[in-house]
Amino acid sequence: MKKNLIVCFGAAALTLLLPIVVRSQEALKGSEIHGSMQADATYYLTDTKTGITDTTLAGKLIRMNAFTEVNYSLGNFTAGVRFESYLPPLTGYDVQYNGTGAPYWYASYKNDFIDVTAGNFYEQFGNGMILRTYQEWTLGYDNSLRGLRVKFTPYHGITLKGVYGVQRYYWEPYKDYNRGIVKGADADFFLNDIFTGMKDARLKLTLGGSFVSDYQQGATKEFTSGTQILTLTLPENVACYGGRFNLNLGGFNWQTEYAHKINDPTALNNYIYKSGNGLFTNLSWASKGIGLSVMSKWIDNMSYKSDRRDTKNMVNINYLPAITKEHTYALASMYPYSTQPNGEVGIAAAATFHFAKNSWLGGKTGLTVAANFSQVNGLKKTALNDTTMIGQTGTEGYKSSFYGFGDEVYYQDANLEVSKKFGKKWKGIFSYLYQTYNKLIIEGHEGTIYSNIGVADISWNITKKVSLRGEFQGLWTKQDKGNWVAGLAELTVSPSWFVSVMDQYNYGNDDTDQRLNYYTFSAGYTHHSTRIAVSYGRQREGIICVGGVCRYVPATNGFTLTVTSSF
């Protein structure tokens, strides 16, 4: 325990020493060193009311996630390394992260014609439906590729990319085809730059296409069918390809991408041989004081991983964009949506209206109204024949039609937000949400939750440097754990200090012993690019999502220290 505590505060001390080290770069004329670091350390407390015991914490009361990333550049050359430490990882993060090392390093050379990177890299083709590698620290997610990436610009307006490598899987090294080798090519054509006659045209058009292949050494899979034991032969190469376009004309924009994946039997789709399809489209229009957008998404058997055995949020080759709104308020985000790669179809629409100052609706200070609606349903699936069940292992799984909406609602969110200034010192944001949350589909637990949520966010600028913000939230539902109420007060002294207190109370829980206060006390100080924050309190159990990718967060209680810095 003492060793972990020393490491936690050692990481914070390193932040203060880094600027001294950076000054040494002055001796290397023309070169630069930049970087960042973050350390999150928590001292956990047992809490009988939330079921947190020394056993559930595995005796590890002090835990830390930390990283330091350093990047060096000299002319066209750049290189970098990221050092990570999980001693052990914070609760809610996979225990396979436990350890310390440098999982990310790279060297790159770039000029006007070519950009070559060796080592680890992040890349995205189009919207990511075929390939997207990225890191999300709050989710404990990192699917970076280690290998080679090459970008070409052979002609003005044309960009070509090629990637080859293996994905990160915690600390596990690549060995003996324990996961697939990812190869891909991508091309973008900005027609207005390619054709001189379109250079000054109001219509802007970009076309693109991608191809990705995952090679995982051939294997077999045994399963039982009645009294028989059958053996599946799994494909070694799984390809995914597609095309996209982006059209812009004045305030109008239309973006669409389609992807097709050949048969890919995996643990997530119950080892069926059905091909996958995905389509994402977004229409938007904006003018002075108004913005409108409509999105839709169709996903059919589009899980694409470099290890067919993985059932966690790891080694995802592709990314399926979310169309549901990502809420930031505590109760509004209590039931977030997680993208269902095995099949979903959804629509979303958003409208924003800004009424100017001194207008009839805007009044003296103006008014902004934003409305959003999204709904995601399951696919309409039918059996292949009278003797085969939908999703049966070793078959083509099921039949489905293009944009075939199923009857089952996975998620629905209708919300309205009004923002208004009240004089020079006061501002308010008022929101109402109605949500439908299919807990069986999203979390694997029985039940559908219907909730009404209200939020009032009031800010008071006491002086030019001092402000006070208050949140008042309520969630009302007859399902799950019943009604909630939440409140927050945050005092900010610019540019350095903040202090806040927040509480969430589950007053509608049928189990009166579980009508708990989930309180949090926080304070922080910022100096230039360094921020230090401390907090104490309870974290309620739930799901946290970023862009439709989610992880489970267990209930916790304790003290947390967070240090972030960049240089």
**If you ran DSSP here, which 8-state letter would residue 264 be given?**
-
Cα first-last separation, the chain = 31
Whether cis (ω within 30° of 0) applies to the bond prior to 265 is: no
Q: What is the pLDDT of residue 312?
A: 84
Half-sphere exposure of 561 (CA within 13 A, CB side): 16
Q: What is the mean pLDDT of the chain?
A: 91
Cα–Cα distance, 158 to 151 (Å, whole number): 10
pLDDT in tens, 165-220: 999 999 999 988 889 999 999 999 999 999 988 888 999 999 999 999 999 987 78
Q: State the pLDDT at residue 28.
A: 60
Cα 388 from Cα 6, distance rounded (Å): 60
Residue 154: its pLDDT value, please?
93
Across the range 94-108, mean pLDDT stands at 95
Residue 3 confidence (pLDDT): 47
- The pLDDT tens digits of the residues spanning 109-124 come to 999 999 999 999 999 9
DSSP assignment of 24-57, as one string?
Answer: GGGGSTTEEEEEEEEEEEEEE--BGGGTB-TTTT
% pLDDT > 90, the chain: 75
* pLDDT(513) > 50: yes
Q: Transcribe 379-445 into DSSP letters.
A: EEEE-SSTT--TT-TTS---EEEEEEEEEEEEEEEEEEEEEEEETTTEEEEEEEEEEEEEHHHHHS-
Tokens coding 177: 């085809």
366 vs 457: which has the higher pLDDT: 457
Place of tokens 């052979």: 154
Written as one string, the DSSP assignment of 116-136 is EEEEEE--EETTTTSEE--EE
Q: Contact at 8 Å (CB) between 195 and 215? A: no
For the stretch 1-35, pLDDT in tens is: 444 444 444 444 444 444 444 544 454 677 899 99
Res 222: pLDDT? 79
pLDDT (mean) for 228-244: 91
DSSP 90: P
Residue type, position 506, single letter: N
Q: What is the pLDDT of residue 55?
A: 80
Residue in 382, 395, 295, 286 with CA at minimum distance from that of residue 343: 382
Return the pLDDT at 226: 67
Q: pLDDT tens digits for 269-327?
A: 999 999 999 999 999 999 998 999 999 999 999 999 999 999 888 999 999 988 999 99
Q: Residue 267: what pLDDT?
A: 92
Instruction: Categorize the per-residue pLDDT at 446 as very low, low, confident or very high, splitting at 50, 70 and 90.
Output: confident
Q: What is the mean pLDDT of residues 337-357?
A: 94
Give me 238's structure tokens.
């799984």
Interval 48-100: pLDDT, tens: 888 888 888 887 899 999 999 999 999 999 999 999 999 999 998 999 999 99
pLDDT for the residue numbered 547: 83
Whole-angstrom distance, CA of residue 253 vs CA of residue 281: 11
Provide the pLDDT confidence category of residue 241 given band limits of 50, 70 and 90: very high
d(CA 373, CA 323): 10
Domain ranges of the chain: 1-30
